[in-house]
């Protein structure tokens, strides 16, 4: 079960939070009670202002901006919570607000094609005609979702989930250094291709 199903089922927020926390910990063979999940959620919200980017991510964002790449964010969640994360991580230093889509704000969530189409509609025609890449850590929401609109994908599999048998990710990385290196190589190939034309 994932976020879009919760929206359809209209479960209350607290139940969704309990489920998501228990499911995330279950991936590590950790079982907790609903009461413990609620406590975890409260702590998570209290520490949300303390989140920071991996150093490699700042380096990556700086590289992408220096190479004049258009950056965007498509994220599932409530407007208030996602804006809080974006502010804490200072992502608007690199990503213009108009290139940030939050599922609650647009009324549709990943992996639905429509949210990716909404983002494409924001892009200029010259950018739309280029190869678009989507980087995400959730295989279903991010990789399958972006692939459904023919974007290239980079699956950030930091938790080392088992790769699906018919994995459709174009690239798989397992840590921030690999992500930086992969994108740096892709950018250098793009530069070489542009010089050849």
**DSSP string of 144-184, one letter each residue:** IHHHTTT-EEEEE-TT-PPPPTT---SEEESSHHHHHHHHH
CA 146, CA 170: separation in Å to the nearest integer? Answer: 11
pLDDT at 111: 95
pLDDT at 196: 40
CA 83, CA 91: separation in Å to the nearest integer? Answer: 10
At 135, give phi and psi (nearest 5°): -110, 125
Cα angle 140, 86, 93; round to 5:
120
Strands (E), the chain: 73-75, 100-102, 133-136, 152-156, 171-173
Q: Could you say which residues of the chain have pLDDT below 70?
A: 1-12, 191-197
pLDDT at 120: 94
Pick from 30, 86, 91: nearest CA to 60: 91
Residue given tokens 């034309």 in the structure block: 197
pLDDT at 195: 37
CA 188, CA 126: separation in Å to the nearest integer? Answer: 20
DSSP letter, residue 54: -
Residue 75 is encoded by which pair of tokens? 């994220």
- How would you classify the pairing of strands 100-102 and 73-75? parallel
- Length of the chain in residues, anyone? 197
The sign of the dihedral angle between the CA atoms of 132, 145, 136, 94 is: positive
pLDDT at 12: 66
Give me the long-range contacts of 160-165 (CB less than 8 A, separation at least 24): 161/27, 164/139
Residue given tokens 């080392």 in the structure block: 160
């Amino acid at each position: 079960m994932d976020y879009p199903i919760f929206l359809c089922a209209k479960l209350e927020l607290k139940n969704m939070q309990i489920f998501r926390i228990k499911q995330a910990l279950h991936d590590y063979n950790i079982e907790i009670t609903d009461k413990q999940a609620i406590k975890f959620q409260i702590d998570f919200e209290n520490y949300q202002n303390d989140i920071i980017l991996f150093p490699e991510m700042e380096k990556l964002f700086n590289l992408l901006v220096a190479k004049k790449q258009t950056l965007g964010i498509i994220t599932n969640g409530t407007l208030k919570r996602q804006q809080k994360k974006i502010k804490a991580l200072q992502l608007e230093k690199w990503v213009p607000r108009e290139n940030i889509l939050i599922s609650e704000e647009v009324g549709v969530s990943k992996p639905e094609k429509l949210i990716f189409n909404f983002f494409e509609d924001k892009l200029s025609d010259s950018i739309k005609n280029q190869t678009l890449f989507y980087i995400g850590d959730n295989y279903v929401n991010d990789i399958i979702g972006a692939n459904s609109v023919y974007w290239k994908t980079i699956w950030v599999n930091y938790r080392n989930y088992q790769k699906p048998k018919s994995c459709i990710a174009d690239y798989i990385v397992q840590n921030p250094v690999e992500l930086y290196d992969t994108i740096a190589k892709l950018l250098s190939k793009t530069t070489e291709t542009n010089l050849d034309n």
